[in-house]
Structure 1
Amino acid sequence: MDLTTQYLGLELTNPIIVGSSGLTGSVEKIKHAEKCGAGAVVLKSMFEEEVALAYADFMKTAQTFASDSQYFDYEGRKTPIAYYDYVVREENLKKYITLIEESKKAVSIPVMASINCFLQSVEWIAYAKQLEAAGADALELNMFFPPTDFTKNRVDKESVYFKITEEVTKTLSIPVALKISHYFTDLGPMIQRLSKTGIGGLVLFNRYFSPDIDIDTFQVSNTFVFSSPSDLAMSLRWIAIMSQKVDCDLAASTGIHDGDAVIKQLLAGADAVQVASCLYKNGLDYLGQMRERLENWMSRKGFKRISGFKGRMSQEKSVDPSVYERVQFMKYYGGKKSAVV
């Protein structure tokens, strides 16, 4: 079977991408991912929070030697702390650039850089250009600005996505993908509008910190770190709804735990899929099983190429588009369990 596919203008040997995670945080892991059958990798993201944490650690050390919290005395000189903020950031950037450069030398599959845009920082624009210069084949912007700022309205919040996207696409010559959430009032129109900004692709959807409360220690902790197979439904629905309504590629993410889930997302219209949680649970070797399941299914169904069935089950091509709408929910709980699902 021919599993090759195009995503962001790049040719992938197969549509299964190892998503941004600790699984793509070192050259050795990336080499192993390629050996196990990954079509591409998205490097572990540069997180602004990580930079902030590194800076916080530095500040603790600095303030043990300086009485003035605004300055750090080094060899008799008083230097603004802002300088050390810059140094910490640049050190993190340097490490990331090295990861890109060494990964590109080590593997032949596409290597995509990733920036987690949690804060609205203009510095990410400058960083993006340096990641391109390091040899990244594409850049994925993981964009999410929490809807907890009650001082801004919906229009103000959404405008940030377009502002950053415009600046990055104007700056870079490599393809750019946006990894977004489903937390939008008008999700469908928002996806469509973003697809018309000149980006190469959209990744539906990113995954977030899930808080829990320890009732004995009164501490907030993390839970549901990994996705579950049931999480597939959200991205599957919106890939199917949007696959013929956008001006860019679509990649599915979250809830893809086996070869069957890969097939379903391709049938819905995805150009590629990103996996991570299932690889944490089963190891990178599991990529081979997912790929084999895809090949065997294509052989059994008589498909020589992915293009022969991609998007076949999208809403646009469905004989009953309502199957992707709320009517399914109503039919099920109305007792009509024979409804199409």
Structure 2
Amino acid sequence: MDLSTQYLGLTLPSPVVASAGPYNAEVANLLKLEAQGAGAVVLPSVFEEQVQRDQEILDALVDHGAESTGEALSFFPSHITEGFDTARQLTLVEEASKALSIPVIASLNGITDSGWIDYAREFEAAGAAAIELNIFLIPSEPGITGAQVEARYEAVVRAVASAVSIPVAVKIGPYFSSPGAMAQQLVGAGAKGLVLFNRFYQPDINPATLGIEPSLRLSSRHESRLPLLWIGVLAGRVPASLAATTGVETADDVVKFLLAGADVVMTTSAILRHGVEHMGTLVEGLREWLGARGVESPDAIRGRLSHRLIKNPEAYERANYIRVLQGYQRH
């Protein structure tokens, strides 16, 4: 059976991808994921704020007392002004790209135009097969309009896509007035793939300490419905690769997303929850599901239950909403 899959113009040995997460920060772990059948790996995101903060601290240390004596000017070599975080991430990209035979995708979460472009170019030079733009933009100012937010996303994608020759995917959230139109705008700006959806981690409030606390919960299967909906709606309608993420826990979840039209299915929480061997469980589970039905490859089922191919496309729309509510009330 051939599980090979095309994603962003790259050939992957399987459609199951290890998405960005802390486990992917070590080459040894990436090799284990590859051995378990991962089709590709996405490295942890580089956050431009972290790089800038490291740079500010380093600059302060270099400048402190630098003019105290003539010799002080030579305390630090010129290359030390390179950011700590960037150097580590570039080393990871370079080492992973050399060690693995599957595509290594670098993830970038920037805040400024120069940050997006500069780091993207550095990742390409380090050997990344593709770049995933993890755009996290919260329009917290009430005066910012939806059109302005969308224009910002489009500008980021256009700038990065025009600055590198490797394919660029965009990981976005679902909070657009028209996700379908937004998807078309991003593809028009140069995105070769869309990753649906980003999980925006909201903070929590601690009543005891009267403080804001970060909160993180691993995704669960019930969260897969939203990306499943939009993968199904966009498949075959947007000329770009589609990657599903969030709520991928079992091989059945992988199959569902493929049936809806996903090119690849990404998971992080399941790996963190169950260990690296779970990647093998997902891949082998997909292989068994296909084999039990005499199907030779994921291509044979991809998109068979997408919006444009099913006989009752209203299942993706308002009729399904009404049917579900009325069915529950009768139950």
2:304 alignment partner, one of 309, 312, 320: 312
Q: Residues 76-114 of structure 1, C-alpha deviation per residue, up to 9 Å, x if partnerless?
A: 2799xxxxxx96663322221111111112111110111
Alignment correspondent of 1:82: none
Q: Which structure 1 residue ranges, 5 or more long, are not aligned?
A: 66-70, 80-85
Per the alignment, in what secondary structure is the counterpart of residue 73 of structure 1?
A: coil
The answer for the alignment partner of 2:143 in structure 1 is 151
Aligned to 1:284: 276
Residues 1:116 and 2:120 are matched in the alignment: no
Give the alignment of 1:231-246 within 5 angstroms.
Answer: 231-246=223-238
What letter matches 1:45 in structure 2? Answer: S
Identity, in percent, stands at 36
Deviates more, 1:3-12 or 1:148-157: 148-157
C-alpha distance 87-233 of structure 1, shift in aligned 2 (>3 A): farther
Q: CA deviation at 1:306?
A: 1.1
State whether structure 2 residue 64 is matched by structure 1 residue 91: no
Q: Corresponding residue for 1:103?
A: 96
- 2:128 maps to 136
Match of 1:163 in 2: 155
Q: Give the whole-Å Cα distance in 1 for the aligned partners of 2:234 and 2:83.
A: 39
Deviation at 1:308, TM superposition (A): 0.7
**What's the offset of the Cα at 1:13?**
0.5
1:241-261: per-residue Cα shift (whole Å, max 9, x none)?
A: 000110111000111111110
Which residue number in structure 2 is paired with residue 253 of structure 1? 245
One-letter code of the match for 1:101?
Answer: E
Partner residue, 1:223? 215
In the aligned structure 2, how far is the partner of 1:151 from the partner of 1:336?
40
Q: Could you tell me the TM-score, scaled by structure 1's length?
A: 0.88
Equivalence for 1:263: 255
Q: Following the alignment from structure 1 to structure 2, what is the Cα–Cα distance between the partners of residues 329 and 337?
A: 13
Q: Does 1:44 align with 2:44?
A: yes
Cα deviations across residues 166-209 of structure 1 (Å, max 9, x unaligned)?
11111111111011111111211111221222321110011121
Match of 2:2 in 1: 2
Q: Does the 8 A contact of 1:210 with 1:225 survive in 2?
A: no
Moved more, 175-184 or 157-166: 157-166
Q: Are the equivalent residues in 2 in contact too, given 1:241–1:315 (CA < 8 A)?
A: yes
Q: What's the TM-score, normalizing by structure 2?
A: 0.91
Q: Which runs of 5+ in 2 are unaligned?
A: 73-78
CA offsets 1:32-53 (integer angstroms, 9 cap, x no match): 1111221100111101232245
**Retained in 2: the 8 A contact 1:196–1:246?**
no
Deviations 1:97-149 (A, max 9, x none): 111111112111110111013x2342220121111011110011101211212
Counterpart residue type for residue 203 of structure 1: V
CA separation in 1, counterparts of 2:296 and 2:136? 38
What does residue 199 of structure 2 align with? 207
* Distance apart, 1:75 and its partner CA: 4.9
> Which one-letter code corresponds to 2:235 in the other structure?
S
Q: Please identify, of 169-178 and 47-56, the stretch whose mean Cα deviation from structure 2 is larger.
A: 47-56
**Rounded Cα–Cα distance in structure 2 between residues aligned with 1:89 and 1:337:** 62
- AA aligned opposite 2:11: E
Question: 1:325 deviation in Å?
Answer: 1.5
RMSD: 2.3
Q: Which amino acid aligns with 2:8?
A: L
Establish whether residue 186 from structure 1 lines up as the match of residue 186 from structure 2.
no
1:26-105 pair list within 5 angstroms: 26-55=26-55, 62=61, 72-76=64-68, 90-105=83-98
Superposed counterparts of 1:13-24, under 5 Å: 13-24=13-24
> What amino acid maps onto 1:24 in structure 2?
N
